């Protein structure tokens, strides 16, 4: 008997995960900027207030530091809070609370209990909205010792990873991507499912080159792979899904097959996650590095602030044709 499925957009999948987890566990609460008044920055929280009421979801002032501090306190006292920070760039306003407090609390205070906190915020590159909002700061948080970092690229992954994040007993930063919110609907199982952290997904199998990516850039990589396929270049696409923990084993297995490695992400190249992926790969598989068919490359945003212009911003962030040309140069 075929498994029953429903069609969801990326944003619908996140909303479904919220509802299912709040229905399953009364300790799950939510608060943040405009989660009631605007139903989230892009309607992520549609219907949550109507279903669960003011004791489970609350609007807050635009004070990110307070949202993170409240979430940390709630998590330490037995609740399972979701702190909604709207845009990833706004996390910088609470960097002390996120990095030094939420991420480092166990070392700083000797706290050994569970700290089930989810911070949900949105990456929004590709919209011409400017650096005030369009920051992809995942590399900064990967450097923090106590945080798990999740960046899904599909509706299926968005739901499964959000449910896993809410049930996790350690702090999780969940980056969704605005560019994926209202895309084509995907078939998602009606039955409950979870996606474990630290388990990459091979979105497309190939034999000529491994392209590693995450979040919205996976869609561009897959589109580039289709173009390359028309020219006889067969690219394998690995979606990391979570950056901490990172599944480097899947990357190693893929590169041993293809002999080439390209990492693509939306964040700035300098100090970006691509550098971490490369070195983790080299440490895990030094013998494979010696037999590679071409040098490892990384393709990422320029080392500048994003411009408040829909015409100019595409020049700063990798596009499908950039990926195609880079792969051709490697193969």
- Give the residue numbers annotated as catalytic, written as ranges: 133
Taking alpha carbons only, the member of 263, 260, 329, 262 closest to residue 289 is 260
Residue given tokens 């450097």 in the structure block: 143
Contact 277, 212 (CB under 8 A): yes
Which residue carries 């399953």 as its tokens? 24
Burial 90-128 (b: 16+ CB within 10 A, else e): bbebbbebbbebbbebeeeeeeeeebbbbbbbbbbbbeb
Q: Which residues pair with 121 in a beta bridge?
A: 175
**Sign, CA torsion 268/249/99/215:** positive
Contact 121, 85 (CB under 8 A): yes
Gap between the Cα atoms of 231 and 328, Å rounded = 10
CB 40, CB 61: distance < 8 Å: no
Q: Is 318 exposed, middle or buried (0-12, 13-18, 19+ CB in 10 A)?
A: buried
């Amino acid at each position: 008997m075929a498994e029953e499925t429903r069609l969801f957009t990326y944003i619908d999948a996140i909303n479904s995960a919220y509802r299912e987890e709040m229905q399953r566990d009364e300790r799950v609460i939510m608060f943040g900027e405009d989660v009631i008044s605007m139903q989230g920055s892009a309607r992520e929280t549609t219907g949550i207030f109507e279903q669960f009421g003011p004791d489970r979801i609350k609007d807050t002032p635009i004070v990110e530091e307070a949202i993170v501090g409240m979430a940390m306190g709630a998590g330490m006292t037995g609740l399972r809070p979701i702190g909604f920070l709207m845009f990833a760039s706004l996390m910088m306003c609470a960097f002390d609370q996120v990095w030094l407090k939420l991420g480092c609390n166990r070392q700083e205070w000797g706290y050994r209990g569970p700290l089930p906190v989810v911070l949900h915020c949105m990456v929004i590159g590709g919209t011409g909205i400017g650096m005030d909002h369009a920051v992809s700061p995942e590399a900064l948080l990967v450097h923090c010792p106590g945080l798990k970092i999740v960046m899904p690229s599909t509706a299926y992954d968005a739901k499964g990873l959000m449910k896993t994040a809410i049930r996790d007993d350690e702090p999780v930063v969940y980056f969704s991507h605005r560019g994926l919110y209202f895309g084509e609907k995907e078939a998602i199982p009606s039955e409950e499912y979870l996606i474990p952290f630290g388990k990459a997904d091979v979105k497309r199998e190939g034999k000529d080159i491994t392209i590693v990516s995450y979040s919205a850039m996976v869609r561009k990589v897959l589109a580039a792979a289709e173009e390359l396929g028309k020219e006889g270049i067969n690219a394998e696409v690995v979606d990391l899904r979570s950056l901490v923990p990172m599944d480097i084993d899947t990357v190693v297995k893929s590169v041993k097959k293809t002999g080439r490695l390209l990492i693509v992400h939306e964040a700035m190249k300098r100090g970006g996650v691509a550098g971490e992926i490369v070195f983790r790969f080299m440490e895990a598989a030094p013998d494979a590095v010696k037999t590679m068919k071409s040098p490892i490359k990384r393709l990422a945003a320029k080392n500048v602030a994003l411009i408040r212009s829909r015409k100019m911003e595409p020049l700063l962030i990798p596009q499908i044709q950039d990926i195609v040309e880079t792969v051709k140069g490697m193969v």
